[in-house]
A and B are shown apart, each in its own frame.
Chain A
Amino acid sequence: MELSGATLRADERATIEALVQRLHRLRLKGDFVSIAAMIDENAVFEFVGRRPFFEFAGVYHGRDEIVSVFKQLNSEVALLDAEILDLVIEGNHVFHRRRMVLQHRGTGLRAEQEVWDVFYFRNGLLAEGRRLLDTLAYERLKND
Chain B
Amino acid sequence: MQSSEFAGQMAMLDRDMIENTIQRIHHLRANAQFEALERYLAPDAVFEYVGLGAKFPYAGRFAGKPAIIALYKTINIEIEMLNSRLVERVIDGERAFTRRLVDVRHRGTGKRDSHEIWDTWKFRHGLVTASVKLVDTGAYERLQL
Contact = CB atoms under 8 A, between A and B. Distances in A.
Contacts of B134: 114, 116, 132-134
A140 B52 CA distance: 10
Q: What secondary structure prevails in chain B residues at the interface with A? A: strand
A118 interface: yes
Contacts of B137: 134-137
B99 A118 contact: yes
A54 B11 contact: no
A136 B141 contact: yes
Interface residues of A, number: 29
Interface in B102-145: 115-116, 118, 120, 132, 134-139, 141-142
Contacts, number: 80
Interface string A32-60: 00000000000000001110011000000
A134 B136 contact: yes
B50 A3 contact: no
A139 to B, nearest CB: 7
Size bracket of the B interface = 20 to 34
A134 B52 contact: yes
A27 interface: no
Contacts of B11: 7
A10 interface: no
B2 to A, nearest CB: 13
Given A5-B12, A97-B120, A137-B52, A90 B90 contact: yes
B26 interface: no
Contacts of A5: 12, 15
B51 interface: yes
B97 A134 contact: no
Nearest to B59: A134
A23 B55 CA distance: 32
